[in-house]
């Protein structure tokens, strides 16, 4: 019997690999006198945990770089190089994420993606041929302007002076100078891992939809949206690239737009990229049971979250194999999950009533026990065939 275990991370407790290994431990307890084939293939959807999952799945390496956080403070941020040594993986939140600001310091008028650009430079120094950049969890709303400046580009005002960092400064933009952009960018492929389809500007754009979680009031969101509209107009004027209404351009405070405008980046679905680079489809061949999971499953899962992507891949390759999700919490919309995702059964993993801190600390034990119980049922059912 072959088990393929392909979970996402359980946020706040376990990485995807740790969660997968915990499931494997539970399964092995049931098949003590047998040797089932168990393949653990860590997954992610382009958000938090993508770098670690891809590094773990490919026997890659985590590296650190000194960069600047959204407010310009020096920090150490991590990125990954996959086992093929040809692909680097970056989460923009590692340098420009919400975790670096608090209720008092968050201000999308001032925060910058400069540190994300520095992470890209660090990846280029590894002599890779492609870079995957996961968008999500940003504290920024600068349209990728800071990233562009870190990579050697210049954003100039009417006096020819460099713009200060932050989304609000973009209203002063008069000219874009890309002549000094790092030449290595022309030698690498850049893939954007994101499932956000929002445009850069307008009612569904970066400022109005995502700005509030970064500290923007309605008035600030309006100011930032106008600044991004002006930014997009100058990009079109100087570079001939239309980014204002591109699907996904509004991801990560408009970083999607910046990557599409200033590099030859391609927008991709996060889970599809991870499935490709982890070799999940190859591992799914001849699978009898597929296990997936993450911290929470709800109606949003069907919009490209990891369990959805794993289930869809499994149903195409091994339609007879049950797809079972082990999750920390089940949210609203479970009926639609069963109807539309390909997931056959969902089990919550916390054992007994407990506080959230205790549930997080005991996640490994509880996931193993739940996987063991699932395996006992599968073993019993297989004996009836």
Query: How far is Cα 56 from Cα 62, in angstroms, rounded to an integer?
Result: 9
Q: 3-class DSSP state for residue 52?
A: helix
* 250, two tokens: 């509004």
pLDDT of 194 > 70? The answer is yes
Cβ(279)–Cβ(205) under 8 Å?
no
DSSP string, 273-304: HHHHHHTHHHHHTT-SEEEEEEEEESGGGGGT
State pLDDT tens for residues 111-120. Answer: 999 999 999 9
C-beta neighbour count of 322 within 10 angstroms? 17
Which domains does the chain carry? 2-41+279-384 (3.40.50.10350), 50-270 (3.90.1510.10)
- Computed over every residue of the chain, the mean pLDDT equals 94
pLDDT digits (tens, 9 = 90+) for 19-53: 999 999 999 999 987 778 999 999 998 888 899 99
Q: pLDDT value at position 384?
A: 53
- pLDDT, tens only, 235-268: 999 999 999 999 999 999 999 999 999 999 999 9
pLDDT digit string (tens) for 209-242? 999 999 999 999 999 999 999 999 999 999 999 9
The DSSP symbol for 300 reads G
- Residue 373 reports pLDDT greater than 90: yes
Three-state DSSP class for 259?
Answer: helix
State the virtual CA torsion across 104, 231, 254, 165 in degrees, nearest 10.
-40
303 vs 106, higher pLDDT: 106
User: What tokens appear for 353 in the block?
Assistant: 């009533």
Give the pairing type, strands 87-91 and 130-134.
parallel
Task: State yes or no: pLDDT of 168 exceeds 80.
Answer: yes
Report how far residue 82's alpha carbon sits from residue 69's, in angstroms, rounded to the nearest whole number.
24
Q: What is the pLDDT of residue 14?
A: 94
Q: Among candidates 24, 48, 145, which has minimal Cα distance to 99?
A: 48
Sequence-distant (6+) residues with CB within 8 A of 188 are 124, 128, 129, 130, 131
In the prediction, which pLDDT does 73 show? 98
Q: Give residue-wise pLDDT tens across range 59-75.
A: 999 999 999 999 999 99
Position of tokens 């190859």? 282
Q: What is the b/e burial string over 265-279, where b = at least 16 CB atoms within 10 angstroms of the residue's CB?
A: bebbbbbbbbbebbe
Cβ atoms within 10 Å of 121's Cβ, excluding its own: 18
């Amino acid at each position: 019997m072959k088990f393929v275990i392909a979970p996402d991370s359980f946020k706040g407790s376990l990485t995807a690999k740790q969660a997968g290994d915990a499931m494997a431990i539970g399964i092995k307890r049931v098949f003590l006198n047998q040797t089932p084939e168990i393949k653990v293939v860590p997954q992610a959807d382009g958000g938090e945990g993508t770098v670690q999952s891809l590094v773990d799945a490919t026997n890659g390496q985590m590296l650190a770089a000194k960069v600047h956080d959204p407010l310009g403070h020096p920090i150490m941020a991590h990125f990954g190089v996959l086992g093929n040594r040809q692909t680097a993986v970056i989460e923009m939140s590692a340098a420009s994420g919400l975790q670096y600001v608090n209720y008092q310091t968050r201000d999308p008028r001032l925060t910058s993606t400069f540190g994300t650009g520095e992470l890209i430079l660090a990846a280029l120094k590894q002599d890779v041929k492609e870079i995957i950049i996961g968008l999500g969890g940003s504290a920024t709303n600068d349209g990728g302007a800071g990233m562009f400046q870190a990579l050697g580009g210049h954003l100039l005002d009417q006096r020819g002076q460099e713009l200060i960092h932050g989304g609000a400064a973009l209203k002063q933009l008069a000219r874009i100078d890309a002549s000094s952009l790092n030449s290595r960018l022309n030698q690498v492929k850049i893939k954007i891992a994101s499932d956000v389809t929002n445009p850069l500007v307008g009612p569904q754009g970066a400022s109005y939809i995502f700005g509030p979680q970064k500290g923007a009031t309605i008035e600030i969101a309006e100011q930032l949206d106008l600044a991004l509209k002006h930014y997009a107009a100058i990009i079109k004027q100087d570079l001939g690239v239309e980014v204002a209404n591109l699907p996904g351009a509004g991801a990560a405070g408009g970083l999607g737009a910046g990557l599409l405008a200033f590099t030859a980046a391609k927008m991709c679905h996060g889970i599809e990229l991870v499935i490709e680079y982890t070799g999940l489809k190859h591992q799914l061949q001849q699978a009898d049971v597929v296990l997936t999971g993450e911290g929470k499953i709800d109606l949003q899962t069907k919009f490209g979250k990891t369990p959805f992507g794993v289930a869809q891949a499994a149903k195409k390759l091994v339609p007879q194999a049950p797809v079972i999700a082990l999750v920390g919490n089940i949210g609203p919309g479970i009926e639609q999950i069963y109807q539309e995702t390909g997931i056959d059964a969902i089990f919550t993993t916390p054992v007994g009533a407990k506080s959230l801190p205790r549930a997080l600390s005991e996640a490994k034990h509880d996931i193993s026990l739940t996987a063991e119980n699932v395996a006992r049922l599968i073993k019993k059912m297989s004996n009836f065939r």
